[in-house]
Amino acid sequence: MNAMNDLSAEALRIRITQHLTYTLGKDKPHASLYDWRMAVSYSVRDLIIEPWFAATRKTYEAQGKRVYYLSLEFLIGRILGDAMMNLGLFETVQDVLEGEGVSLADVIEDEPDAALGNGGLGRLAACFLESMSTLACPAYGYGIRYEHGLFRQLFESGRQVEHPEDWLNQPHPWEFERPEARYTISFKGHLDGQSVWQPSETVYARAYDMPVVGWQGKWANTLRLWGAHPTELFDLEQFNSGDHTAAAAPEALARTLSRVLYPEDTTDSGKELRLKQEYFLTSAALQDILRRFLSEYDDFAQLPDKVAIQMNDTHPALAGPELIRLLMDEHGLDWNAAKRIALGCLNYTNHTLLPEALETWSTWLMGRVLPRHMQIIEQIDQEHRAATKCAADLAIVKHDQVHMGTLAFVMASHVNGVSALHTDLMKETVFSGLHGLYPARVLNQTNGVTPRRWLRLSNPALSKVLTDTIGAGWESDLARLSELNTFEDDRAVRDAIGAAKRHNKLALSNWASDRLGITLNPDAVFDVQIKRMHEYKRQLLNVFETIHRWSAIRSNPEAGWTPRVKIFGGKAAPGYFAAKEIIRLINDVANVVNNDPVVGDLLKVVYPANYNVSMAERLIPATDLSEQISTAGKEASGTGNMKFTMNGALTIGTLDGANVEIREQVGAENFFLFGMTAAEVRDRYLIEGHARTAILDSPTLQDVLQMIVEGRFSPEDTDRYNGLVDATWNHDPFLVASDFDSYLAVQAEVDLAFADEDHWNRLALRNIAGSGYFSSDRTIKGYMADIWDTRSLL
């Protein structure tokens, strides 16, 4: 069934021992956990090389189109377990390590998360890479090899503090450095004559390749990450004369470019270094793409038939001007040809409509850092305005700002949103003008997630139930999960689904008691909200409900409550004050609730620090209730929502993003819907004092806010949340107050439904059965057919 299954445990044991001995220079009695992890990783990696080479050979032979996915973020997570699972090696490795007295779980846990992303956008890119390999779609991911990924979150007295992340502190066994794949990236300087760029700063982009293996090891693509290196060598003369700092300056300057990931998510940070990072990635990727193209072809007119470039949001939107520049200034094409070819290759995915996330750069900064690109952008803009006779509002450059969304839109063949609702809203709101000018350009590709990592790897208990029930093969054909529906009335199947969930909840409880010293009641509803901390995602609504529940239990502990465990996870951007206040409030509430003997086991609040991909893999399989409660119209899609559904959690959610499609797929009666629609939200904003009105209409919410201002959760500092409560009364930008009562009512329905265990298992079954649509394989097939025009090579 699978190329790697033939490998015997003995053969693998020999390979691992050889790496331990000859790569790591350790003998078994002295090998540490790290040594074992490295030896196992190298041994598994070796087995990817053959399919990787074979895929490259087939791609060259087919002479077809290649896909290039440009993204400032790839939130990959741990690699070893995923590679073992895709190669079908899990049991074999386990056997070998058991024989050596080493725990596979410990080995897997020893690997740091590759956190080269912030949240949804970066994790989507990682799921897409895996699906492109599974589908044998010839593709490269291009990104930056950040030395420090997303910061490590700690809580000090309930407050978030950020610590640097250091994943490259240890050798990274999955990458291959390619010193020969190196490009010069230029900045600043001036234009000679009309438009000959004389840059004053240069760095090298050096390639580091990671193989990305798909399901059953049939295909592997490459994730190529760029590291920045100095072009000027170390100044020995200065060093010898004693100025050690000045001697190292060029090196320091270059390396800052790939030093850290910007921790902002759905916000625009507007820093010069960020612009340089965006250009660094884009230019290196495009130079590499053109070099590869020229190694096989000689006529650039063919480029759009051989190359599809996907811009993951606007961060690589300099691809338009940069491709024009390379074709003109480096390869001698004229303007019209260069622009036509660039447009033919480029596509743009939008991930958010939030105004604060739409990137702009001042013409002053753009002109200083990239003078030639500023000139090209002006010309693209002039032609765009002349050809469409558009209103001034739709220009790329306006009020001395370059609008990257408009630039990306104008320079793309296809522009897509990430859920049906989001794409509709793009057309109706932020991009309505541009959509009117280019009506065939916008299309939808609803997001998906890889079922290999998010079900098979992270939830072996449920995976076994699925295979036992509907047979093997659902991992690469997730629509088959709908076959579960025919087992809805089979009590044994419902019980098995319930038992798998309980198994995962117990595992999570053990982890929570080891790591957080808190005991969780496995009979409680495990109610989970994990995602970036942002006001629009409304963690605040969830805390308010928690406070109400605590108070209601206290006033009548014998009322037959369904026990709850509220779990939160997520990081706030370091400068996002409002989000950080919500973090602190959650921790303060947890402190009071968890130490209240009156509520005891009926309510617990857990907020483990440093939520990341590995923690998601632990939490999602153990979740009963998935919180997807953003203000309608604000969450472009969501992808966590899909992972939960696949793992048999029920959703409490608004009609936002992909929740709409999840509800359609699983059936409205199996989904806890509440809150205003996007259209109602739009109307509500027009009502002056909407928050005050809603609060005055809700005695429960008044009580909750009162408890907070009285300092019930911050007795040592009773004024701590005055600002937050005041903002809720007077601003409430995401309509927490207006949706509060509706949310409470549906939470009560959840309690009732959960009390009937067998009924709940039936609802879980229907959710799993309806989740097949949300495989990223389906999404990638959509991109291949509608945007890239590429075919699978298997």
Indicate the residue among 309 and 708 with the shorter CB distance to ligand HBZ: 309
Residues contacting 283, CB < 8 A, separation 6+: 183, 185, 186, 205, 318, 322
In eight-state DSSP terms, residue 396 is: S
CB 570 → ligand HBZ: shortest distance, Å? Answer: 12
- The three-state secondary structure class of 319 is helix
Q: How far apart are CA 256 and CA 643, in angstroms?
A: 35
Q: How far apart are CA 520 and CA 550, in angstroms?
A: 16
Q: Is 690 a catalytic residue?
A: no
Indicate the residue among 349 and 463 with the shorter CB distance to ligand HBZ: 349
In eight-state DSSP terms, residue 674 is: -
Instruction: Sort 7 into a burial class: Cβ within 10 Å, 0-12 / 13-18 / 19+.
Output: middle
φ, ψ (nearest 5 deg) of residue 380: -60, -45
Query: Could you tell me the two tokens for 608?
Result: 């483990």
Active-site pick, 643, 663, 684, 762 = 643
Q: How far apart are CA 469 and CA 461, in angstroms?
A: 13
Q: Is 537 a catalytic residue?
A: yes
Bridge partners of residue 230, in order along the sequence: 203
Indicate the residue among 632 and 763 with the shorter CB distance to ligand HBZ: 632
Q: Is 682 a catalytic residue?
A: no
Give the interface with ligand HBZ as residue ranges (CB under 6 A).
119-121, 124, 264-266, 268, 313, 351-352, 357, 359, 418, 447, 635-639, 657
Q: Is 26 a catalytic residue?
A: no
Indicate the residue whose CB is closest to ligand HBZ: 120
Sign of CA dihedral 586, 757, 520, 648: negative
Contact between residue 401 and residue 361 where contact means Cβ atoms under 8 Å apart: yes
CB 643 → ligand HBZ: shortest distance, Å? Answer: 11
CB 258 → ligand HBZ: shortest distance, Å? Answer: 18
**C-alpha distance from residue 714 to each of 376, 698, 729 (Å):** 56, 24, 20
Query: Could you tell me the two tokens for 392?
Result: 């001034």
**Amino acid type, 437:** L
CB 667 → ligand HBZ: shortest distance, Å? Answer: 22
Active-site pick, 222, 360, 639, 790 = 639
Active-site pick, 19, 351, 494, 720 = 351
Q: How far apart are CA 764 and CA 671, in angstroms?
A: 10
CB 567 → ligand HBZ: shortest distance, Å? Answer: 20
Indicate the residue among 206 and 403 with the shorter CB distance to ligand HBZ: 403
Q: How far apart are CA 507 and CA 503, in angstroms?
A: 6
Indicate the residue among 145 and 537 with the shorter CB distance to ligand HBZ: 537
Active-site pick, 37, 452, 453, 532 = 532
Residues contacting 46, CB < 8 A, separation 6+: 15
Q: Is 643 a catalytic residue?
A: yes
Helix (H) or strand (E) segment spanning residue 168:
none
CB 790 → ligand HBZ: shortest distance, Å? Answer: 21
Indicate the residue among 111 and 661 with the shorter CB distance to ligand HBZ: 661
Q: Is 759 a catalytic residue?
A: no
CB 639 → ligand HBZ: shortest distance, Å? Answer: 5
Sign of CA dihedral 533, 534, 540, 542: negative
Indicate the residue among 36 and 128 with the shorter CB distance to ligand HBZ: 128
CB 433 → ligand HBZ: shortest distance, Å? Answer: 20
Indicate the residue among 142 and 754 with the shorter CB distance to ligand HBZ: 142
φ, ψ (nearest 5 deg) of residue 668: -60, -30
Active-site pick, 441, 531, 549, 564 = 531
Catalytic residue annotation? 351, 531-532, 537, 639, 643
